[in-house]
Amino acid sequence: MRILIVEDEPRLAANLARSLREASGYAVDIAPDGEQGSELGAQNEYDLIVLDLMLPKLPGDQVLRQLRAAEVRTPVLILTARDDKETAVAMLNAGADDYVAKPFDLGEFMARAKALIRRGKGQATPLLRLADLEINTLERRVSRGGREIVLTPMEYRVLEYMAHRPRVVVSKSELLEHLYDFNWEKFSNVIEVYISGLRRKLDDGQDPKLIHTLRGHGYSLREQA
């Protein structure tokens, strides 16, 4: 998953990014002002945008309106120091999906962020299932047929992203864009390695096969070839 944080307070932005990277393995980009946040949010495919309201160059409410006017449907979590009902109502009406008031509990922030990502993928619960495969996205645990499967952090991230889009063909470039930040080009040859590892750990000796390669198109997590 790839997240954009639009926040001008460097320490807060760094703390949030570190928590998202370390606790959930997300790729995180940071924009220090509203203009850059609006540009990045419109140009890249993110799974969540964390948006402060009081930003230099362009305030957060205008960033939100610009993104929604550009038909960017990425879930947006508002950060605001204005803990009043009017601000919350205005932001939700403008297209925000949720908000947290500063100062906030980091655990609550993480829970809200993960819930919005799940909701954006059409998942109501943290458990993802396909055939006899089960992925607990809160604990980051994977099992198949009741047997726990140990994955590397990057194998897990690839699998979770594909599990949020079951039976859909996902291209290598799409996986790279959601797994890495701006510099993903230098990792362009690693997806095949992760897919190979997943196929070995999930499919060897199992039926049906779940990891499928469609040459020239990408990869798909599905029950049938």
How does pLDDT run across 193-208, given as a tens digit for each residue? 899 999 999 998 888 9
Q: Which domains are assigned to the chain?
A: 2-120 (3.40.50.2300), 127-221 (1.10.10.10)
Report how far Cα 62 is from the mean position of its chain's Cα atoms.
23
CA-CA distance, 61 to 196, in Å (whole number)?
44
Model confidence pTM above 0.75: no
How does pLDDT run across 9-22, given as a tens digit for each residue? 999 999 999 988 88
Among residues 99, 211, 196, the alpha carbon closest in space to that of 166 is found at: 211
CA-CA distance, 27 to 4, in Å (whole number)?
9
Q: With cut-offs at 50, 70 and 90, classify the pLDDT of residue 103.
A: confident
Can you tell me whether residue 47 is helix, strand or coil?
Answer: coil
